[in-house]
Chains A and B, each alone.
Chain A
Amino acid sequence: MTEIKFIVNGKNVKVAVEPYIRLIDLLREKFDLTGTKEGCGVGECGACTVLMNGRAVNSCLVLAGQIDGNEILTIEGLANHNALHPLQKNFLLHGAIQCGFCTPGMVLSASALLNKNPNPDEEEIKDAIAGNLCRCTGYKQIIEAVKETAKEINSPSKQL
């Protein structure tokens, strides 16, 4: 067992774990953050995407022993208390969710993009979510939801 200190969804936490377990298992099993999904387990599908220091990473490819001192954001930490994040709201409005399994990862990849680039073009959106597979193949709605969110962020009149 190793003691690891890190930040998860804005909270400082300390946990004793086997350092070789994967970040996805740490989040789901020790913190009950089951919004992070396991799809392929080899870094190809992006269902397990979380933000690590603001960057999208596959949590199935990070080991618990590597994250000491880092900041992790999961889908549970994206909403502001009871108010949905604009991406979450727009995913609902645009029907960008079908079975929902890819959605947490998809939303987090999109949020990493918008934090870095608030005004992405369609190609940039596609590139940002190229590592998130949606087997219901609702990509068009997802891209529209991201575009709409960018529009809202950039429009000064609209309250987010």
Chain B
Amino acid sequence: MISSLEILIPKNLNEALSLLVERKNNCRIIAGGTDVVPGLQQGSNRFANSELLIDINRIPEIKSITQTREKISIGGAETFSDMLQNQIVKEELPLLWKACSTIGSVQIRNRATIAGNFVNNAPCADTVPALLVYNATIEVESLSSKKEISIGEFLTGPYKTKLNKDEIVTRINIPIPSKEFRGDFYKLGRRRAVAISRITLAVLTKTQNHMIDEIRIASGAVTPIGIRFSDLEKLAKGKYADDKFLKLLSQKLGEQILNVTGLRWSSEYKLPVVQQMFYQLLKEIEHG
């Protein structure tokens, strides 16, 4: 049972940010509610002192998808369904589109929002690996400040981010990747729908005559938080993308994940799967 809570629905960003200042110590933001409502219902201590929920679903400033020459800007309270229906996201950011399509169910995607996916920095957040390889930046606003930082910087540790109590994630900005990039997103859950991810991988590569010009690799769920593998990215730069090297890279990815995560009861299963799936992804991207 949910105990007494007030709910306010601000009509614009300023109103919401003012509320966050006025009611600093006892308010929480709610958008789709797919994480907040079960949390409240189960009496999670995340909401122990909450007296007010601020519903940010009706704030136009954080609800649109826009495109300029260099970037695509997605409002933080944009739902996955809206993103999936958006042609710009589908064509320019196919990995993010695919990640969104694997989330929950139609019912969940109709309510859940992109910022909501990563503001609690759960390791299994499906959009994170895609946002990482796209070099997304996060726009955060409070009544007195506005900042824009990379997603990697924003996500500081398991269930921790740089977001302060008086701030809202207003937009997610993604530089439009050049057409030479090819890539894919992979998700493994216990079933196809309404499943928490066990493994997610995102890869974006640019090769010229089978020579790796640039590669961006990110994982989620198998690491404590979604991360990029810059050592591997550096190692791969300038290498010939033949079978032998792709296998080596996959093996090294497994080693790196083990380094970050440590040996777990599930490692025996997950590590070979990660390596094999990563190898398959690379092969498909390379050979089309």
Total interface residues in chain A, CB < 8 Å = 32
Known pairs A62-B111, A66-B7, A130-B193; A43 contacts B106 (CB<8 A):
no
Interface centre among A57, A109, A132, by most B CB within 10 Å?
A: A57
Interface string of B100-127 (1 = CB under 8 A from A): 0000111110110000000000000000
Interface string of B38-49 (1 = CB under 8 A from A): 101110000000
Cβ–Cβ < 8 Å partners of A2 in chain B: 7
Residue contact B5 to A43, C-beta cutoff 8 Å: no
Interface string of A112-144 (1 = CB under 8 A from B): 110000000000000110111000000000000
Residue contact B194 to A130, C-beta cutoff 8 Å: yes
Residue contact A131 to B37, C-beta cutoff 8 Å: no
Residue contact B7 to A43, C-beta cutoff 8 Å: no
- Answer yes or no: A35 CB below 8 A from chain B CBs: no
B260–chain A nearest beta-carbon distance, Å: 30
A143–chain B nearest beta-carbon distance, Å: 14
A64–chain B nearest beta-carbon distance, Å: 8
- Answer yes or no: B91 CB below 8 A from chain A CBs: no
Closest to B5 in A: A20
Closest to B104 in A: A131
Interface centre among B3, B4, B5, by most A CB within 10 Å?
A: B5
Q: List chain B positions with a Cβ less than 8 A from chain A.
A: 2-7, 9, 30, 32-34, 37-38, 40-42, 53, 55, 57, 81, 104-108, 110-111, 192-194
Could you list 8 examples of A-B contacts with CB < 8 Å? A19-B5, A19-B7, A60-B41, A61-B37, A65-B6, A127-B106, A131-B106, A131-B193
Nearest 9 pairs of A and B residues by beta carbon: A131-B105, A65-B7, A130-B193, A20-B5, A19-B7, A42-B38, A55-B110, A131-B107, A58-B107
